[in-house]
Chain A
Amino acid sequence: MTRHQKEIIIKNVFLIFSLISIFILGLIVVFLFREGIPLFKEVSLRDFIFGMEWYPTYSPPSYGIWPLIVGSLIVTVFSSLIAVPLGVLSAVYISEIAPPAIKEVLKAIIELLAGLPSVVLGFFGMVIVAPWLQATFDLPTGLNIVNASVILAIMAVPTISSISEDALYAVPNEFKEASYALGATKFETIARIIIPSALSGISTAVILGMARAIGETMVVLMVAGGAAALPESIFDSVRPMPASIAAEMGEAPFRSGHYHALFATAIVLFLMTLAFNLIADYISQKFKEVGSATL
């Protein structure tokens, strides 16, 4: 066999494997829509999205998922408020400030955090954070938005930190040298040269971290409290979409209204995570011209 023939075979093997992956993903999406869309024979899209009551087992049932959407968004926003500064600043520390020994230790810690199973973190939230919140703030339950946000933030930090660190590391040394040559301090070089140059990668990291938080199931199932109602304070329980799907899918009769409603909820969740990924991609492309530091 000639080298050229080998090249062609290898190229086609890679092509076949990538097409198989895309085909399987496509089938999942088709299945999701096939099982979700029949709900809209019973309920209008407007009532489904903006309905305030989620009582799928009542007679007659109510399939309004607005409280679930708000629950998902609110825990994502609050977890991002915690995870974004922690993740980005730790990435700056690792890539620009830390001595080599500490850098290695911190990188290992972040990789360990990324490897912690979500059920372990959820368990930690249930047995440590929830009782502490309940006792400290005198709450009826510690399973609430704050608890879910803190645990989700711990889950999102490794994603944000490692992608941001890669982006910061990719900033060309010439930029830093030019900044120092002009008399800038280390802080000014980091704040005005390195971070703006790595903005595309950092923004991508933030959006992917948020996408991770919004799609996370086990943590919100365990620590968000499970109340399908609009929250009035950050200490109220919520029921984000993934928690609802995971908790109810086992008990929903096959091809019932409830079953289709859960698949329709999954479509909404899928579209939201897709939007996050598209935004990340757009930001990554938009800021590409800022230096050569892009992911």
Chain B
Amino acid sequence: MTGQTVSGNMKRRYLKQHLFFGAVRLSAVILTLALGGILFYILVN
């Protein structure tokens, strides 16, 4: 395996990892915003 292929594989692994962790964190943010939005609306009105 050449150095370039190894580097390509690592890049793909890191990209996958970043995408996954991004999606996981985004879901937590969406949940927080959903509840925050509902509570904010109820309290303000």
Interchain CB contact (< 8 A) of A116 among B27, B31, B38: B38
SS of B interface (majority): helix
Residues of A within 8 A of B16 (CB): 187
Binary per-residue interface labels of chain B (23-45) against chain A in the complex, 1 for a CB within 8 Å, 0 otherwise? 11111101110110011011000
* B17 is an interface residue with CB less than 8 A from chain A: yes
- Is A154's CB under 8 angstroms from B41's CB? no
Interface string of A81-93 (1 = CB under 8 A from B): 0000110011011
Which residues of A sit under 8 angstroms from B39, Cβ to Cβ? 112
Question: For residues 149 through 180 of chain A, which have their beta carbon under 8 Å from a beta carbon of chain B?
Answer: 154, 157, 161
The CA of A259 and the CA of B31, in the complex, are separated in Å by: 40
Contact, CB under 8 Å: A191 / B28: no
- Chain A interface main SS type: helix
Tell which of A50-58, A120-128, A216-224, A231-239 binds the partner. Answer: A120-128
Contacts A86-B27, A90-B31, A106-B32; A97 near B38 (Cβ below 8 A): no
Number of interface residues of B (CB under 8 A): 20
- Once A121-B38, A124-B38 are accepted as A-B contacts, the answer to whether A187 and B27 lie under 8 Å apart by CB is no
Q: Which residue of B lies closest to A86 (CB)?
A: B27
CA distance A260 to B26 in the complex (A): 47
In the bound complex, residues from chain A placing their C-beta under 8 Å from that of B38 are 116, 120-121, 124, 154
Complex-state Cα separation, A94 to B29, whole angstroms: 12
Q: Is the CB of A89 within 8 A of B23?
A: yes
Residues from chain B with Cβ under 8 Å of A90 in the complex: 24, 27-28, 31
Question: Which of B20, B31, B42 contacts A120, CB < 8 Å?
Answer: B42
- Which A residues are closer than 8 A to B by beta carbons? 85-86, 89-90, 92-94, 97-98, 102, 106, 109-110, 112-113, 116, 120-121, 124, 128, 154, 157, 161, 185-188, 190-191
